[in-house]
Amino acid sequence: MVFFERAPAKINLSLDVLGKRDDGFHEVEMIMTAIDLVDRVELHALSGDHIEVSADNQYVPNDERNLAYKAALAFKNKYHINNGVRIEIEKNIPVSAGLGGGSSDAAAVLRGLNQMWSVHATLKELADLGECIGSDVPFCVYSTTALATGHGEKIHELVSPPFCYVVLAKPNIGVSTKTVFQKVNLDELHHPNTNKIIQAMEKGDFASLSSNIGNALENITFCLHPNVKRIKEKMVQAGAAGVVMSGSGPTIVGLVEHYSKAKRIYNGLRGFCEEVYIVRLLDRR
């Protein structure tokens, strides 16, 4: 028996840090939406009771450190399943890029095993289970457009953003989310206006959406990796309507209304950045 699941990347239209909690986690407020840059997760039923995982990417571990493995283990424990599974991941989402690739693979495993083993858990139950694997896993279970609060695990669905193209530029470095959060100084952050972004989406106002997107972590990542700041500047100069860093970076996201402009920006950035993509929002009007 073989099951396939699509595991879409996410981008942040906003990321704000509101405070630090007693448990060490930061209180965040993020607007995220899924894009059509997608890993392909294949689940093969095994006769034994073990979990195997393999991914076609040298930066992704093929053992119990893989978030997909952790998801399968959590699912087996929660629902007392004694069957085994081999997980094969075709990685198309860049790793350690701020695009939530590992979290999305984990979420795809939860959805896929739910079907394969006929558990019939709701998406809410899978999202709750995903919380112990990583803060972005609950969002990825739904993979729509949502406001994520708490440490990212509380999901409130939002209306879809207006139609647009997304240019992604990922410099050839990985950024550790942990390192960036360790450097947060709450007095120095530049806070995006989350409500204005939500209002812009509700009105389908692309111009207002583009001018309000923002990420409180940008300056920290820019200090650690000045090249990321240069790529943001290039994307702005090239004419993207709205430009923001996704997650803790290093991927820079540009929102563009028309494909011809997206293509021009893509061509302009390819000389400065190893990986550039044009994608569409998965959840769109």
Catalytic annotation, residues: 10, 136
Instruction: Find the binder of ligand ATP among 61, 124, 172, 179 (CB under 6 A).
Output: 61
C-alpha–C-alpha distance, residues 141 and 283, integer Å? 14
* Shortest reach from residue 157's CB to ligand ATP, in Å: 19
Binding to ligand ATP (CB under 6 A) within 72-111 occurs at: 89, 95-103, 105
Rg (CA), the chain: 19
Residues 6+ apart with CB under 8 A from 31: 12, 13, 14, 145, 146, 147, 148, 158, 194, 197, 198, 201
* Shortest reach from residue 246's CB to ligand ATP, in Å: 7
Determine which helix (DSSP H) or strand (DSSP E) holds 77, and give its type and residue range: helix 67-78
Hey, which residues does 31 pair with through a beta bridge? 14, 147
Hey, which residues does 46 pair with through a beta bridge? 84
* Shortest reach from residue 58's CB to ligand ATP, in Å: 10
**245 is a contact residue toward ligand ATP (CB under 6 A):** no
C-alpha–C-alpha distance, residues 30 and 55, integer Å? 29
Contact 263, 142 (CB under 8 A): no
**54 is a contact residue toward ligand ATP (CB under 6 A):** no
**218 is a contact residue toward ligand ATP (CB under 6 A):** no
C-alpha–C-alpha distance, residues 27 and 240, integer Å? 30
**240 is a contact residue toward ligand ATP (CB under 6 A):** no
* For ligand ATP, the closer CB: 103 or 241: 103
Instruction: Find the binder of ligand ATP among 68, 71, 243, 281 (CB under 6 A).
Output: 68
C-alpha–C-alpha distance, residues 248 and 190, integer Å? 14
* For ligand ATP, the closer CB: 103 or 212: 103
The phi and psi torsions of 208 (rounded to 5 degrees) equal -70, -40
**136 is a contact residue toward ligand ATP (CB under 6 A):** yes
Residues 6+ apart with CB under 8 A from 41: 4, 5, 6, 7, 68, 87, 88, 89, 90, 105, 108, 109, 112
Which segment (61-69, 114-122, 214-222, 267-275) binds ligand ATP by CB under 6 A? 61-69
**250 is a contact residue toward ligand ATP (CB under 6 A):** no
Number of residues interacting with ligand ATP: please give it, by CB under 6 A. 22
* For ligand ATP, the closer CB: 94 or 162: 94
**4 is a contact residue toward ligand ATP (CB under 6 A):** no
**Binding interface with ligand ATP (CB under 6 A):** 55, 59-61, 65-68, 89, 95-103, 105, 136, 177, 247
